[in-house]
Amino acid sequence: MRERLGSGPRIVRALFAAILALGIPIAIALPSDLNAKVYASGAVALIAAAAAILAAALVRRRREPADASRVAAPRSAQDDPSGTGRWSLELLRRLEWRRFEELCAAYYEALGFATTQARSGADGGADIGLVAGGADQVSSVVQCKGSSVYTVGIKPVRELRAAMAAAGVPQGVLLACGTFTSEAKEFSRGENIQLVDGAELLRKIGALAPEQGQALLKLATAGDFSTPTCPACGIKMTARTSSTEGRKFWGCLNYPRCKRTFFGASNAPA
């Protein structure tokens, strides 16, 4: 490493010395009088210095992009083995439905809205009412679809539209960790519904002040953020294995009284 970093100054010094070694004898030999020889020698020295400065600038310019990339590069997996040190789509999809809901509410609160939870659905989805600063009524309804959904179809969009109609609210937002089908996008365009997928949500969080983004990251990753919460009982679920198929899933601790389960989530049991 020291040899590589030091190669630039050595090249500059060698160039400066070469110009002097070749130029000075010629400058002394060609002019006939002493004053001309002095002026010619000085000119050679100035040319050598200018060439050395230019070479140093070129060497430094070639090295700067690599240095900048090292500074800006995200932490590696070795530096952050848990993957919780910075925002990523993978981390977002590891959040259980209730933590994702809490993150979404906290995001809008960071924007200055007051939030009210309207309901929790059977699949862990939630309707969050947004109240603008100074207002006394909900102006928009937000529905959250967390880690149990990779691609969101038209059904949740229709459900959000029904919730908007029931609340008498003209605007809606559907937040998801995954992406949306073309059918869902087409339906939302005519219903004043904004679809925000995982990548867009991360961009929105990234647009906040750095301290706000870090506060949301801390909220999202505190404690056990990946084990789903039972929508009916409000307690963390437990890993189970199907007796017929051997398939792993999340089940409620209150089984058989509560038979809520989660299959196919990105944070499925190991």
pLDDT values of the chain reduced to their tens digit, one per residue, 270 residues: 434 444 556 654 665 566 556 555 555 565 566 555 555 556 556 565 666 565 566 556 554 443 333 333 345 545 677 788 999 999 999 999 999 999 999 999 999 999 998 655 555 556 899 999 888 899 999 999 886 567 899 999 999 999 999 989 999 999 999 999 999 999 999 999 999 999 999 999 999 999 999 999 999 999 999 999 998 899 999 999 988 878 888 999 999 999 998 876 566 676
What DSSP element (H or E) covers 196?
Answer: strand 193-196
Pairing mode, strands 126-131 and 140-145: antiparallel
- Rounded percentage of the chain residues whose pLDDT exceeds 90: 49
Residue tagged 């200055």 (tokens): 112
pTM of the model: 0.68
Quick one: CA dihedral 97, 98, 102, 105, positive or negative? positive
Task: State pLDDT tens for residues 242-261.
Answer: 888 788 889 999 999 999 98
Amino acid at 227: T
Q: How many H helices and E strands in the chain? A: 8, 10
Residues in contact with 13: Cβ distance below 8 Å, sequence separation at least 6, in sequence order? 52
pLDDT reported for residue 120: 53
Task: State pLDDT tens for residues 178-214.
Answer: 999 999 999 999 999 999 999 999 999 999 999 999 9
pLDDT reported for residue 71: 32
Q: Which residues of 184-200 are buried (b: 16+ CB within 10 A; e: fewer)?
A: bbebbeeeebebbbbee
